[in-house]
Amino acid sequence: MAEVTNFGCNPPAGIAKALSEVIGVKKANGSIFNLTILGIFAGVYIGFGAALATLVSSDLARYVGVGLTKVITGGVFSVGLMLVILAGAELFTGNNLMLMSVLDKKVALNKVLGKWALVYIANLIGSVLLAYMMYKSDLWKGGGFLTGIQALKIANAKVNLTFGAAFFRAIACNWLVCLAVWLALSARTTVGRIFAIFFPIMTFVALGFEHCIANMYFIPMGLFLKGTEAAAAAGLNLTNLNLGGFLVTNLIPVTIGNIIGGAFFVGTLYWSVYLKQK
């Protein structure tokens, strides 16, 4: 641990202890009002990143190719988690790390599950709210409906995933998202936190992984645009772009996968390494 400390950042054991003994306990005991407001904020903030990613990816491939487009799209999407961490908000996927407090017997499991459910619903409200605002703004009409067409392509691709594909992409996604949170807690400066967040989030988006809260923006945006001029211009088969495709085909497997990726592969396994014996 000495080498890590010398770089001026919090060591992994210290992060694990803070998550278990302080952060997870505080979140589990947070007021319903505060968690609801901060949860709505997080849904909006992730939606900002998703909206920017949609805009950037709408025509970039023709200039820099598919690979670089994915990397740049992932880079701009990371603004969402930066806003969550630095401005202060409650994100369901990051809060999966609260399981460390349960394993350490600092809080009861039912209390954590209740707060997960509350934040999840609040995230959904915030994400759909921003999607509706973007739809009503008519910004998707610019450039011959270019952004609107891209939004429909993204949403349609997500509701046509198999359960297995969505599930395993979601595990990998929240493994990286929770690592981004973990790395942000290691940093001692704002700039350090920004860099800590940027690379894991860029990676998960570039690789095409699935994030349930981001999908609460992406898919409703597609639903709002279904039946518009953008949908006609896209020329896509939008049969599966409906409420069932959103909630059942995508959100259920992605949410389960995200919980496993964050709560088990990061929270549980790091707890077992740094805190279990103690």
**What is the mean pLDDT of the segment spanning 54-79?**
96
**What is the mean pLDDT of the segment spanning 192-204?**
97
Q: Is residue 3, in this structure, part of any structural domain at all?
A: no
Q: Which band of pLDDT confidence, cut at 50, 70 and 90, is reported for residue 94?
A: very high
Question: What number of CA atoms fall less than 13 Å from residue 131's CA on the CB side?
Answer: 25
Q: Is residue 110, in this structure, part of any structural domain at all?
A: yes
Q: Which band of pLDDT confidence, cut at 50, 70 and 90, is reported for residue 278?
A: low
Write the burial class of residue 171 (CB in 10 Å: 0-12 exposed, 13-18 middle, 19+ buried).
buried
Q: Which band of pLDDT confidence, cut at 50, 70 and 90, is reported for residue 234?
A: very high
Does residue 2 have a pLDDT over 50? no
**What is the mean pLDDT of the segment spanning 20-30?**
96
Q: How many domains does the chain have?
A: 1
pLDDT at 69: 97
Query: What's the CATH code of the domain at 96?
Result: 1.20.1080.10
Q: Are 73 and 151 in contact (CB under 8 A)?
A: no
pLDDT at 275: 93
Q: Is residue 124, in this structure, part of any structural domain at all?
A: yes
Q: Which band of pLDDT confidence, cut at 50, 70 and 90, is reported for residue 277?
A: confident
Domain containing residue 74: 9-274
Q: Which band of pLDDT confidence, cut at 50, 70 and 90, is reported for residue 157?
A: very high
Does residue 190 have a pLDDT over 50? yes
**DSSP annotation of 262:** I
**What's the token pair of residue 249?**
């085909």
Q: Is residue 17, in this structure, part of any structural domain at all?
A: yes
Q: Is residue 4, in this structure, part of any structural domain at all?
A: no
Q: Is residue 15, in this structure, part of any structural domain at all?
A: yes
Q: Is residue 138, in this structure, part of any structural domain at all?
A: yes
pLDDT at 9: 75
